[in-house]
């Protein structure tokens, strides 16, 4: 079995959850001896910012990065030319050394014309614009929606990262007859995200948020909850790890939501390295908090759970597929600062034994249901099943 992974966010390039989960999956494919390559099309400025190379083999498998030629053109032409450039690269590489299966995410519809002849396309439902724009009631780009629809129409298997997002996609896109449908979560590297010691080294009162600083992530709701939390828990303080293009502007807006006297109890670290910084930052968290308005899956809370942290996640979309409230974490209604404050106070006030019990349960959930080895092997089995059921 030879696989091509198409991903524009593959580390160390600028990436979010799609890039992180694809990287974790790739590591498991390599460990399992699967023959695969990765390709993505990247704006030229990112090559300089991240010192990227057209061919990167530092991880033990080839990662190809195509330099986009369309970044100075109007958006509508960027959409067309980037996909054409990617299609030509894939076709050329397929002629040189054929792929049996092409794997990519629904987001942006990078392969609207489907895979090269003789190969099968598997699409992971991980956050298409088509579904997100509809759920968030926001304007979108019809051209991108069409690319996503066409790509889904050319796939022989859809893998939803949650039952929630598979169902929401099915409400908006009818799969062609015979399309295989299944749910497999995103994999999380629970070897990377594991405590360095059996001792509880969490800092009293410390709340950690690691995610993109975006309104959709519930960050404004978190700040609206802080005054009550800070008043109830004198040692409470918040650390935020995550990037934002206009971070100074957002920082000012967020701090304006709490009394000036409490500003010193909030620290913005900006974007940090996921692999060297985040595990240790989470290890010192008394509570990890992710009050998103909408997610397809949510890698950040699983990373915190893998670190045995008391984790508070939003009861939105896939929340109940990931956390059992009061057992391995807490679930809070989205857009509800009052309830968020109450649950944060409750989580910060847990006794050592309660904190230990919830942390142990959280790690067990993370490893047994979302660990990269378990999930990676399930993806490999899905790939093999796809090829075995392909028409001759």
CATH number, position 229: 3.40.50.2000
Tokens read off for 221: 């709701």
Residue 200 lies in a domain: no
Question: DSSP assignment, residue 1?
Answer: -
d(CA 384, CA 323): 30
Cα dihedral 289/293/299/301 (nearest 10): 20
According to the model, what pLDDT value does residue 13 have? 77
Residue 195 lies in a domain: no
Domain tally, the chain? 2
According to the model, what pLDDT value does residue 274 have? 87
Of the candidates 263, 283, 207, 281, the residue with the CA atom closest to the CA atom of residue 238: 207
182 and 254 housed in the same domain: no
Of the candidates 229, 288, 286, 239, the residue with the CA atom closest to the CA atom of residue 259: 229
Number of H helices, E strands in the chain: 14, 14
Sequence-ordered alpha helix ranges (H) in the chain? 17-31, 44-49, 75-96, 129-135, 142-153, 163-172, 219-232, 247-255, 278-283, 299-306, 319-322, 337-348, 352-365, 372-388
Rounded to two decimals, the pTM is 0.94
181 and 224 housed in the same domain: no
Residue 152 lies in a domain: yes
32 and 174 housed in the same domain: yes
Burial (Cβ within 10 Å: 0-12, 13-18, ≥19) of residue 250:
middle
d(CA 171, CA 251): 37
Please tell me the total number of residues recorded for the chain in this structure.
Answer: 392
110 and 213 housed in the same domain: no
Tokens read off for 88: 């030509």
376 and 313 housed in the same domain: no
27 and 82 housed in the same domain: yes
Residue 198 lies in a domain: no
- Please say whether the beta carbons of 156 and 121 come within 8 A: yes
Q: What is the CA radius of gyration of the chain?
A: 21
Residue range of the domain that includes 276: 206-370
DSSP string, 4-18: EEE-TT-TTSS--HH
d(CA 101, CA 95): 14
According to the model, what pLDDT value does residue 58 have? 93
Please name the residue that has the structure tokens 């915190």.
304
According to the model, what pLDDT value does residue 19 have? 92
354 and 381 housed in the same domain: no
Give the three-state DSSP class for 39: strand
Bin 19: left if φ > 0, else alpha if -120 < ψ < 50, else beta.
alpha
According to the model, what pLDDT value does residue 244 have? 77
Question: DSSP assignment, residue 188?
Answer: B
Of the candidates 333, 287, 325, the residue with the CA atom closest to the CA atom of residue 309: 287
211 and 348 housed in the same domain: yes
Neighbours of 244 (CB within 10 A): 17
Neighbours of 124 (CB within 10 A): 26
325 and 358 housed in the same domain: yes
What residues in the chain have per-residue pLDDT under 70? 245, 391-392
Bin 332: left if φ > 0, else alpha if -120 < ψ < 50, else beta.
beta
Residue 153 lies in a domain: yes
321 and 221 housed in the same domain: yes
d(CA 206, CA 294): 25
Of the candidates 115, 251, 105, the residue with the CA atom closest to the CA atom of residue 184: 105
Residue 201 lies in a domain: no
97 and 211 housed in the same domain: no
17 and 111 housed in the same domain: yes
Over residues 141-177, the pLDDT tens digits come to 999 999 999 999 999 999 999 999 999 999 999 999 9
Residue 193 lies in a domain: no
Tokens read off for 255: 């701090």
According to the model, what pLDDT value does residue 375 have? 97
According to the model, what pLDDT value does residue 66 have? 97
């Amino acid at each position: 079995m030879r696989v091509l992974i198409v991903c524009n966010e593959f580390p160390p390039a600028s990436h979010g959850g799609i890039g992180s989960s694809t990287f974790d999956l790739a590591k498991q494919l390599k460990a399992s001896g699967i023959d695969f390559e990765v390709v993505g099309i990247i704006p030229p400025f990112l090559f300089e910012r991240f010192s990227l190379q057209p061919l990167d083999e530092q991880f033990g498998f080839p990662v190809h990065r195509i330099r986009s030629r369309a970044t100075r053109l109007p958006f509508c032409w960027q959409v067309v030319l980037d996909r054409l450039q990617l299609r030509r690269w894939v076709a050329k590489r397929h002629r040189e050394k054929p792929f049996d299966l092409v794997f990519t995410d629904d987001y942006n519809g990078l392969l609207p014309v489907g895979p090269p002849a003789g190969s099968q396309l598997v699409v992971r439902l991980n956050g298409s614009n088509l579904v997100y724009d509809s759920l968030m009631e926001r304007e979108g780009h019809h051209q991108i929606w069409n690319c996503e629809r066409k790509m889904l129409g050319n796939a022989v298997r859809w893998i939803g990262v949650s039952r929630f997002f598979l169902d929401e996609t099915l409400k908006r896109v009818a799969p062609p007859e015979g399309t295989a449908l299944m749910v497999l979560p995103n994999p999380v590297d629970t070897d990377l995200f594991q405590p360095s010691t059996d001792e509880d080294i969490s800092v009293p009162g410390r709340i950690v948020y690691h995610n993109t600083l975006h309104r959709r992530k519930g960050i404004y709701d978190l700040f609206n909850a802080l005054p009550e939390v800070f008043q109830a828990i004198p040692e409470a303080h918040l650390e935020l790890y995550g990037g934002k293009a206009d971070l100074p502007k957002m920082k000012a807006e967020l701090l304006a939501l709490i009394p000036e006297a409490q500003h010193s109890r909030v620290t913005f670290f900006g974007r940090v390295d996921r692999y060297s910084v985040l595990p240790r930052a989470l290890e010192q968290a008394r509570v990890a908090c992710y009050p998103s308005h909408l997610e397809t899956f949510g890698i950040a809370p699983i990373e915190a759970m893998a670190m045995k942290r008391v984790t508070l996640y939003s009861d939105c979309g896939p929340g109940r597929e990931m956390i059992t409230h009061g057992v391995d974490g807490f679930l809070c209604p989205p857009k509800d600062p009052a309830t968020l404050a109450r649950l944060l106070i409750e989580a910060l006030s847990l006794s050592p034994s309660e904190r230990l019990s919830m942390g142990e349960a959280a790690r067990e959930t993370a490893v047994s249901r979302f660990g990269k080895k378990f999930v990676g092997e399930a993806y490999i089995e899905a790939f093999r099943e796809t090829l075995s059921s392909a028409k001759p």
